[in-house]
Chains A and B, each alone.
Chain A
């Protein structure tokens, strides 16, 4: 194999690798997990992927858990600090997700855009109840899988 071919192969390889990474990101599969985060943030609602909000939003959420969107979600300070660190480490880095000051994932521009084809009746259906109920349509959301392939809108 000559040098040009080697470089060509390398380019194909790098392009392939970056395509795979993009495909995974666009497939909306989130792998970051932590048992404390999953247990505490997943007790009243699904534990939302840290990558869906920037670190500043997570810090604000975690500093106001006693008034958490209308409910008391307070936890022990040590547990809170541990979860905050996990959220910060795995918070959004992609520009699309970082450019928000929202604390509710469902009020970010990208969320609204992504869900703009969902009819309003779906949000109000008894099987969905709330936009916070990801798993109503994202059937594998509990495993961090928000890919369109696994979306089933309940009838």
Chain B
């Protein structure tokens, strides 16, 4: 059997992974992000057994030993509008059921997960954590 050596190199694997994280490009739906996080979470851990809205809710409401939780700005109800904990600037609702613009743009989603996980947890979130939070947000009704 003829093998294609390039397919076995880690560099190609990394490139493929990166591509899968970058997609969905342009306008997407929350479910598309869930799929992207799912394949990334499988890569993170072989034992990945699906996302949990319950774990996502816990992550969203906990302060993780630091000053803020996600709820500090987004309120404990993601379907409600929030306010920035420091500047008081209004923040539109986060749950897709309450705000159709949420989780439709990959650049925005990744930017805010990066910044806010750094602020709340002091590090970036894993794909599983992002998927858990998104599963929670998608489970919230208006």
Contacts and interface: CB of A to CB of B under 8 A. Distances in A.
Nearest to B111: A75
B132 to A, nearest CB: 20
A73 B84 CA distance: 13
A72 interface: yes
21 contacts: A45-B84, A45-B89, A46-B87, A71-B86, A72-B114, A72-B116, A72-B118, A73-B115, A74-B111, A74-B114, A74-B115, A128-B88, A129-B87, A129-B88, A130-B87, A130-B88, A132-B86, A132-B87, A133-B87, A133-B89, A136-B88
Q: Helix, strand, loop or mixed for chain A's interface?
A: loop
A69 to B, nearest CB: 8
Contacts of B84: 44-45
B89 A71 contact: no
A132 B111 CA distance: 23
Interface size class of A (residues with CB under 8 A): 10 to 19
Interface of B: 84, 86-89, 107, 111, 114-116, 118-119
B119 A129 contact: no
Contacts of A46: 87, 89
Contacts of B116: 72
Interface string A107-134: 0000000000000000000001110110
A43 B73 CA distance: 13
A44 B119 CA distance: 13
B111 A44 contact: no
A135 to B, nearest CB: 8
Q: Which of A46, A72, A128 has the most CB of B within 10 A?
A: A72
B87 A45 contact: yes
A55 B31 CA distance: 43
B84 to A, nearest CB: 5
A48 to B, nearest CB: 11
Contacts of A43: 89
A72 B115 contact: yes
B115 A71 contact: yes
A73 B114 CA distance: 9
Nearest to A67: B118
Interface in A38-68: 43-46, 66
Contacts of B87: 44-46, 129-130, 132-133
A141 to B, nearest CB: 11
Contacts of A73: 115
Contacts of A74: 111, 114-115
B119 A71 contact: yes
A71 B114 CA distance: 11
